Amino acid sequence: MMLTVSEACERNKEPILAVLRTELAACTRVLEVGSGTGQHAVHFTAAMPQLLWQPSELPENLPSLAERIRVEGGANLLPAVALDVRTGPWPAAPVHAVFSANTLHIMGWDAVCEFFRGAAAVLAPPGVLCVYGPFRFDGRHTSDSNAAFDHYLRQRDPQSGVRDFEALDRLAQERGLRFTATHTMPVNNRTLVWRLA
């Protein structure tokens, strides 16, 4: 099977790693939601051997992810498992951290709600939730290109779209998570961090 390559992952994996080195400093077990091609999982686990990383994907996207993990994964990268955030209970619990990149603007709002419910349910202290992607703040996009991307997403799938930070934070608070950091990332993205209260 040919391994698929995401150019975006190649560009953003180093900046995200720099954030995770700090935010996951007290963590060992990490669950990644929507691992995609697996490039992030391979890169992060090679750079942070102290982590035990559980990649996951929707059942229909699992085969290509599983293949990259099998071919390129090291000892601290577990075989990929199926996870649709809408279907509980989530695998791999308990974990010290949940990480997800570029997923909340793809899944529908119902699934976003389930994402926060599921993440809070699998987290154990120190309990860190890191989410990377484009977000709106105070009702505004962080760039014209993100506004155009949002328009494109919503035309393609009305359930999808760039999420409002404030709406995500309400979901997080309802699940006992406290917002602790926003990291400004290249090309107008952010890494948002919540922790168990």
Q: Which is nearer to ligand SAM, 184 or 197 (CB)?
A: 184
Length of the chain: 197
| C-alpha to C-alpha distances, 182 to 92, 179, 190, nearest whole angstrom | 26, 8, 6
Taking the complex as a whole, how short is the minimal distance between the CB of residue 126 and ligand SAM, in angstroms?
Answer: 23
Give the dihedral sign, CA 131/184/150/41.
negative
Taking the complex as a whole, how short is the minimal distance between the CB of residue 12 and ligand SAM, in angstroms?
Answer: 7
Taking the complex as a whole, how short is the minimal distance between the CB of residue 21 and ligand SAM, in angstroms?
Answer: 18
Q: Which is nearer to ligand SAM, 14 or 125 (CB)?
A: 14
Q: Which residues bind ligand SAM (CB under 6 A)?
A: 6, 9, 33-36, 40, 57-58, 61, 83-86, 101-103, 106-107, 111
Q: Which is nearer to ligand SAM, 151 or 178 (CB)?
A: 151
Which DSSP letter does residue 171 get?
H
Q: Which is nearer to ligand SAM, 18 or 106 (CB)?
A: 106
Taking the complex as a whole, how short is the minimal distance between the CB of residue 160 and ligand SAM, in angstroms?
Answer: 9
Closest-CB residue for ligand SAM?
A: 36
Contact call for residues 4 and 42 (beta carbons, < 8 A): no
Contact call for residues 119 and 135 (beta carbons, < 8 A): no
Contact call for residues 189 and 133 (beta carbons, < 8 A): yes
Report how far apart the first and last C-alpha atoms of the chain are (Å, whole number): 43
Taking the complex as a whole, how short is the minimal distance between the CB of residue 96 and ligand SAM, in angstroms?
Answer: 19
